A = this chain, B = another copy of it.
Amino acid sequence: MRTGRVIGTIWATRRHPSTEGLTLQWVLPESVAGEPDGSAIVAVDTVGAGPGERIFFVTASEAVIAIEEVEEAPIDAAIVGIIENFTLSPGEL
């Protein structure tokens, strides 16, 4: 998983039918320090993550596993948790 932040929401009426009803969030991957780190991706939200929340997400085939509404769908990224707290070894931030 990578960590990131929810920075926006995408609306799309013309989309693959299997993805209808799923919320598509724009996620900016971040470093441990919370700085932007990599290209923004579009992920399906499975934990009710709101704008600005620091989350972690899975990519590739694991993403579909997170989504209860569908058996199989062309989705390759899903938000699977919200970071509540974390510890870091001394000197890592």
Contact = CB atoms under 8 A, between A and B. Distances in A.
Number of copies: 5
A65 B17 CA distance: 11
Nearest to A14: B82
B41 A2 contact: yes
Contact of A2 (B7, B39, B62, B81): B39
Chain A contact residues, majority secondary structure = mixed
Interface string A12-36: 1111101100001010110110000
B56 A32 contact: no
Interface of A: 1-3, 6-16, 18-19, 24, 26, 28-29, 31-32, 37-43, 46-48, 51-52, 56, 58-66, 72-78, 80-89, 92
